[in-house]
Each structure stands twice: as structure tokens, then as C-alpha cells.
Amino acid sequence: MSRFNTVLARNTENAPKGIGPYSQTVAFSHYNNLSAQLPVDPMTGTLVAGGAKEQAEQCFKNIKAIVESIGHVMDDVVRITIFLQNIADIDVVNRVYSSFFHDYVPTLTVAAVAALPLDALVQVEALVSNGEGTIPDAPQAGDLIKIASDTNRAPTSPLSTQSVAFSHYNNLSAQLPIDPQSGKLVAGGAKEQAAQCLQNIKAILENIAVPFDDIVKINIFLKNLSDIESVNEACRAFFPDSAIARAVAYAPARTVVEVSALPMDALVQIEAVASHGDGTPPQAVEDRHGIVIKAHNTSAAPRCALSTQTVAFSHYNHISAQLPLNPITGAVVAGGVKEQAGQCLSNLKAIVESIGHVMSDVVKVNVFLKNIADIDAVDGVYAAFFPDGVPARRTVGVAALPRGAMIQIDAVVANAEGTPPEA
């Protein structure tokens, strides 16, 4: 019997089939990665009638159906991500969201984007704990617990928990540039707002005794992509944070994307995922310490001084967003969206193979498109890299991408071998 976790893709007829080559949920080790759910009625395969309220209800019903089909409940959800076509719908969608969570609320990210598949008004994604693990024929006890934490040193909200730890990861709610004392946006521009977002993240991590350099992935949502250099300046002041991290110039994996609007009309919002080497009970104390972060870059894919191509911790590898850049020239490849999608996926493959993995180890893919109408053309290329259609997936349309690209892709990859001392 294998002692390693395996990728476990599952689908249920009680939720809509994907509109592309992907699975509804892909479990690996202690997490289930769900594909973003559109407001599609699983019986008819079409969008439900009504506005944002009805569409949000259908998205959450679909998530609940998937969660229950794999023997879990909604309180096992660790993180919810909501994409809106119109930020003005946030209040009505938040009320729907709250109706699915009662005594506990997960971490939360909300942003408005330029477009969603099927011209939907709402799309919702969930990350779910998986206490039983995915070792074939050897389920674990399934009794690992979530640890939900809040601190008044960072903004609090009745809609979300600041940090939810499960097993070896801490998932943080996306942080807005809110001063926790006043509850208002900080004064200044994108640089000041980015610094406040990062300061809020640091306060949350310090509250749970996690160093800032234990962050393995950040996602930066910008209202104006032209603000990226100001945001980068703020990031350089926070990463790396410790002497050890500075010695190796550590930076987490990263994705940057332009959104059409953010809550409170903020210019910046930052989401973080952090390692959690001490695990969550009842993991034995002697098994909970010393797991290391393994950061890796390869010359076979484009490199960036502000991020690491892939950061592994425990049983996952987090891949930075890949643009359609030729790794030799550093230029955007010639051609249209098919050629650009092929280059993004080739870069992703090069990174995955550089750490001794294969594309079938990918459990989740996030696709950002300048033109949502390109989704079918992208799927034609995508299927060649994922012929079994296994990874869970999220696709959104954005107003702009770095380097004027038409497409950007990031991914989460299984890491069965773990990171030391989980040899």
C-alpha cells in the first residue's frame, strides 16, 4: 500500500458539469480544491433566472452539493472567494453568503472583475478541509480541527475570520487597506494602501505566532494595474522580513491582477496563504515542527525578483502566475491567445518538471483572461496539457494584465513527498 497521498478528482450530478475540461473538486492530502461555481442550475445546465441574489444562491447551492457529495459539510469550508461583475451587488451577495454559514465564517475574498464566464453576475469558489487525507485505502482519523483566529490589531468583520488554520496551512482573508483603529481606508495612494494591507497581514500572523516570511503565496488585486510599481515598492519593504530570509532573498509565489472594483473603493487588496509548521491538533507535537519552506526557480521559465516561481510547503507547491513570456528573451510571445496560453502552460510545465513533478500533479488552475470570449480557444490549448481534465479551475475576465498579456495562469500542485522533515 502506498504511504503517499494521491490526487483525487471527483464530480457529482447534483452540481453543474464544468463548462471546460476540469473537475468539480480535487482533493489532495488535507484540502479539497473546488472549481469556481457559476450560477448554473445542474438540471438545465443554464444560468438561473433573476439577479445577483438568485445567482449567488445558486452558486452556494452548487458548492454545498459538491461539499456534501464528498462527505463534508459547509463548516468544513476554510476559504470563500466571491467574484462579482458589479461591486454594487456586494451587500446582497454577502447576505446570501451569510445564510450558508451560521456559527462559523471562513476566510473571505471579494472583488469585482471585468467579466465572468457565461456573462454571470456572480462566481463563488471554495477551499475545503479534508481531514481524512488522500492516502489510498488508508484514511486518516479525519479529526484534525480548524483553528479560527481574529485580532483587533487588524480589521475585523462579522462576515469573515481573519485566519483559519487547518493542518499545515493558514488561509487569511484578503486584507483591505483599512486602519484597524479607525475602520477607515488609510490616506494616500496605492503605495500607502498596499503597505496597510501588508501591515494587517503581518498583525494577523503575529497574533498566531507565525513569522511574516512563512507566507508562501500572495495574490495582489489592483484597481489600476498602472499602480504596480508603487505596490512593488511597498512589498520590498516587507519581503524578506527576517535575516534568514534576506540571506537567501526569499519572496513568496505571487499573482498580480487588475480588478474592476474592490470593497470600499480601495485601490489594493492583498490575500495571503501562510505555512503552519506546527499543524493543527491532534497532530502530535513531535510531528508538528520543523517542516521547511522550499523555494525554487528555474531558468526554463521566466523569473521575477519580486517572487519565487514555486514555493513548496508540506504537501503543496504554490506556483506564481505565469505570463506568456519567452524565458529566453523575456518578451511576450508572438501570436494570439492560443499562442499565449500555450506559452503560459509551457512555463508552468517547465516549473513543475524542474521540481520533479508532472502536470498530472496539478490540483488547481487559475486562469485570468483579458477577453472572456477567448475561453473556448484557451480550452483547446489547455486540454493538451491536461488531457484528463482533472485540475479544479477558476476563470475570470480582467481589464488588464501585466505586460499587456491576453492571459495569465497560476496553479497549485500536489507535493506527495512533502518537505523536510516529512521525507
342 CA to centre of own chain: 22
Three cell numbers written together for 28: 489532495
In CATH, the number for domain 146-289 is 3.30.1330.40
Identity of the amino acid at 246: R
pLDDT at 284 over 80: no
* b/e 10-49 (16+ beta carbons within 10 angstroms → b): ebbeebbebbbbbbbbbbbbbbbbbbbbbbbeeeeeebbe
pLDDT in tens, 304-321: 999 999 999 999 999 999
Same fold, 146-289 and 291-423: yes
Query: Which residue's entry shows cell 499565449?
Result: 340
Query: Quick one: how many helices (H) and strands (E) in the chain?
Result: 7, 18
295 CA to centre of own chain: 18
pTM over 0.85: yes
Question: Residue 164's closest CA among 75, 100, 235?
Answer: 75
pLDDT at 422 over 50: no
Identity of the amino acid at 313: F
302 within 8 A of 323, measured Cβ to Cβ: yes
For strands 163-166 and 147-149, give the pairing. antiparallel
Q: Where are the domains of the chain?
A: 1-143, 146-289, 291-423
Alpha helices in 70-113 (DSSP H): 90-99
User: Quick one: what percent of the chain has pLDDT higher than 70?
Assistant: 97
* b/e 100-114 (16+ beta carbons within 10 angstroms → b): bbeeebbbbbbbbbb
pLDDT at 420 over 90: no
The helix (run of H) or strand (run of E) holding residue 32 is: strand 31-34
Whether the bond between 240 and the residue before it is cis, its omega within 30 degrees of 0, is yes
Topology of the domain covering 291-423: 60s Ribosomal Protein L30; Chain: A; (3.30.1330)
Topology of the domain covering 1-143: 60s Ribosomal Protein L30; Chain: A; (3.30.1330)
pLDDT in tens, 117-139: 999 999 999 999 999 999 998 87
pLDDT in tens, 196-218: 999 999 999 999 999 999 999 99
